[in-house]
Homo-oligomer: A and B are copies of this chain.
Amino acid sequence: MFFSKKARNDGILEGDAKIFGPSVIGQKTLIGDSVIIGYPIKRKIIILSNKASFSTYDDVSEGTRIGADCIIRSGTIIYESSQLGNDVETGHNVLVREKTVVGDGTRIGTHSVIDGNVQIGNRNNLQTGVYIPPGTSIGSNIFMGPFVTVTNDKYPPSPKVSGVTISDNAIIGCRSVLIAGIKIGEEALVGAGSVVTKDVPPRTVVLGVPARKVMTRDEYDRKQKNYLAQP
């Protein structure tokens, strides 16, 4: 257990937790067992080298802000300089690295990794094992199935970041790969297991490796409606 004197906690600690730097935790937020909040970035860790400890981490951490009514499940690690809104929920063992913004009502599934410098809007549902690299921009009301993987380098390995943009109300199927630099349009849908190499226009459904248009979102919505009407 470590709790920074610079931090302010209006939430509840489930068990052991480490809270570094001037972190702020909102009302009724649950911090699960073994959670780490405000963990310092690599550069600072290396400088500390010979004297790393919870109190030295606390000295260098800029802290992280977590809103009210959140559930941060056990084993989750949130680096410094990030900001989570209200009513955010993480699964177990989630990693959220530095300079990430997560909007109100967004859920991030177990074992997901948000690898820093990522913008995530409101009311998104990221399922288990999602991977989001630096430079990704995610709107609101988006559904991402299990193990969706987003990339940010068109010609790896290179130092250039080409972030993917995912627009509001998009649906990304399970285990899809989104190639660096593409834009997923509003209300677009990517079928499960696809590799998406080009922009997807709004309200378009793509599928396959590489992903190609298979129908419109209108057709998909009709199929979904029929599916739900079946017993």
Known contacts A49-B12, A209-B209, A224-B155: A177-B192 contact under CB 8 Å: yes
Asked if A147 contacts B149 (CB within 8 A), the reply is yes
| A residues contacting the other copy or chain, number (CB 8 A) | 66
Known contacts A149-B175, A156-B171, A195-B193: A128-B129 contact under CB 8 Å: no
Question: Which residues of B lie under 8 Å from residue A36 when comparing CB positions?
Answer: 33, 74
Interface residues of A in 160-204 (CB under 8 A from B): 160, 171, 173-175, 177, 179, 192-193, 195
Q: What's the least CB distance linking A72 to chain B, in Å?
A: 11
Question: Which residues of B lie under 8 Å from residue A209 when comparing CB positions?
Answer: 193, 208-209
Q: Which of B14, B95, B147 contacts A147 (CB 8 A)?
A: B147
CA distance A113 to B112 in the complex (A): 12
Interface residues of A in 40-90 (CB under 8 A from B): 42, 45-46, 49-54, 57, 71, 74-75, 77
Asked if B154 contacts A131 (CB within 8 A), the reply is no
Known contacts A45-B30, A74-B77, A179-B192: A158-B227 contact under CB 8 Å: yes
Interface residues of A in 8-22 (CB under 8 A from B): 12, 14-15, 18
Q: Which of B28, B93, B195 contacts A93 (CB 8 A)?
A: B93
CA distance A28 to B50 in the complex (A): 6
Sample of 19 more A-B contacts, CB < 8 Å, known A46-B71, A154-B227, A192-B195: A12-B49, A12-B50, A12-B53, A15-B18, A15-B53, A30-B45, A36-B74, A45-B71, A75-B75, A92-B95, A110-B113, A111-B111, A131-B146, A131-B147, A146-B149, A149-B174, A149-B175, A175-B177, A193-B195
Write the residues of chain A forming the contact surface with B, with a CB cutoff of 8 angstroms: 2, 12, 14-15, 18, 28, 30, 33-34, 36, 42, 45-46, 49-54, 57, 71, 74-75, 77, 91-93, 95, 110-111, 113, 115, 125, 128-129, 131, 133, 143, 145-147, 149, 151, 154-160, 171, 173-175, 177, 179, 192-193, 195, 208-209, 220, 223-224, 227-228
